[in-house]
Structure 1
Amino acid sequence: MKNFLLLIFSFLVSTLSAQTLVPESKAPVVGIKTNIPYWGTATFNAGLEFRLAKKWSLDIEAGFKPFDGKNDDGTYDRSLKHLRIQPELRYWFCEANNGHFLGLHVPYYLYNVADAKLLDLEGERREGWGAGVGLSYGYQWMLSKHWSMEATVGVGYIYFEYDRYPCAECGNRETNRHKNYFGPTQAALNFIYLF
C-alpha cells in the first residue's frame, strides 16, 4: 500500500511539475462551493477550488456539524457531531473546472456519534478521529460564466480510532478501539461560484 501511494504521489508531482503553474487562459482560477445534499444532514459545509494549471486543480472542502445530542443528565440522544476536512488533487481531462476529472483525496475526521442505527451504533457512542485516502471521479457542468454544478463520487480507505461509550452512561468509557474501513468516501452534488 505504501509503495502504491508513493507511486501515485510521484506521478502526480512529475506531471504537475511538467506543466506551468500559471493559468494559460482566462478560465476561472478560484471557485467557492457547497455540497447541497450534505446540508440535508444539518452540516455546515463549504469548499474552495484553486486552478493550479490547465488540467490540474486543488479542492479543499470542510464540513462541520456542532450539534451533539447531549441531554442535561449526561446521556446522549441520536447525534452525528463531526468535523470533516478533505483536500483533493484533481486531474481534468479537458481543462480545470470543466468536464470530467479524477481526484486523489485525503479525508480527515473528528467525530462524536451516538445512537446512529444506520451506522450500527444503536445504544452506544463513539468519539474519535479518522484519516485516509481515496480516488474519485466527477463531472462539472458550466451553467454560465460564473456558475456551475458538479457531481462526484469516491472510494477509498479510512483508519478510524475511537473511544466507545454506552449511551446510558456516556461518561464511562468502555474501550479504546480502531477500525479499518474500505468503501465509499465521497458523494457530492456541489453548487459552485467561479471567479
Structure 2
Amino acid sequence: MTKRVILSLAIALCAWTTASAQQVAVKSNLFYWMTTTINAGAEVALSKHSTLGATFNLNPWTIGSDNKIQHWFVRPEYRYWVTEKYTRLFFGVHLMGGGFEVGGFRIPIIGDRFLTRLKTNYFTGSFVAGGVSIGYQFYLSPHWNLEISGGAGLARIKYHWEPTNPALRKKSYTNTVRYLPVPTEIGFSFVYLFNSKK
C-alpha cells in the first residue's frame, strides 16, 4: 500500500512539473549563505500576476567551543507582481516560524552598546511572525534572474536565557514572551526558472 501511494505521488509530481514547469522557480539567498545559513526556496505561479512560495533556512553550527548561532525557520509568502510573474517589481505578504539558540559571542561595533548579554548568555526559544515585503527581479538570462528583496513585520518571540558558564546554570528557567517589530527579509538571491519562455 505504501509503495502504491509513493508511486502515485511521484507520477502526480512528474505530471504537474511537466505541465507547469515554466511556472516554477527555485532560489537561494546569498546573504544567508554569508552567515553560513543553509537556505533554499521554491515558488509556483498562481496566475499572471501572483505566485506562492516558501523558503527554508537552517543554521546548525556552533562556532568554536561555545559560540552558537543555531536557528531554523520556514517562510511562506504570497507575491503580487506589478508587471508579470518573476519580472520586475513585486509586493508580498508572508508568515514565519522557527526556533533558535544563540549566544556566547559579541557583535562587532554595536556589541558594547546593544545586546550586551549575548556575550555571556545563551538565548533559546521559538518565534512566529507576519510581515510585508517588497522586491525586484532583474533578468539575467532565459533561465536566471537576480532578486533583491526586503521585508519587515511583527514577531512573537518566546525564549529563556542561561549563562554560558556551566557552573552558573540552573535546572529550570522562566520563559519570556515579547512582541517586537523585526526585519523579516533581507534578500539577494539567484533565481532559476524552469523552462522559461523569456
CA, structure 1 residues 102+181, in 2 after alignment: closer, same or farther (shift >3 Å)?
same
| Separation (CA, whole Å) in 1 of partners of 2:52 and 2:105 | 33
The match for 1:189 is 188
Return the letter of the residue paired with 2:156: Y
Post-superposition, which runs of at least 4 consecutive aligned residues in structure 1 deviate over 4 A?
A: none
Structure 1: stretches of 5+ with no match in the other structure:
1-25, 72-76
Q: SS at the partner of 1:106?
A: strand
Within 5 Å, which residues of 2 pair with 1:1-195?
A: 28-69=22-63, 71=65, 77-118=66-107, 120=115, 121-169=118-166, 172=170, 173-195=172-194
Cα distance, 1:127 vs structure 2:
1.0
Return the letter of the residue paired with 1:176: N
Cα distance, 1:142 vs structure 2:
1.4
CA, structure 1 residues 163+96, in 2 after alignment: closer, same or farther (shift >3 Å)?
same
Percent of residue pairs bearing the same amino acid type: 32
Q: Higher mean Cα deviation, 114-123 or 30-39?
A: 114-123
Q: SS at the partner of 1:54?
A: coil
Cα distance, 1:164 vs structure 2:
1.2
CA, structure 1 residues 55+116, in 2 after alignment: closer, same or farther (shift >3 Å)?
farther
For these two proteins, the number of residue pairs brought into alignment is: 165
Return the letter of the residue paired with 1:128: G
Larger Rg: 2
**When the two structures are superposed, what TM-score results if normalisation uses the length of structure 1?**
0.79
Structure 2: stretches of 5+ with no match in the other structure:
1-19, 108-113
The answer to whether the 8 A contact 1:152-1:189 is kept is: yes
The match for 2:5 is none
**When the two structures are superposed, what TM-score results if normalisation uses the length of structure 2?**
0.77
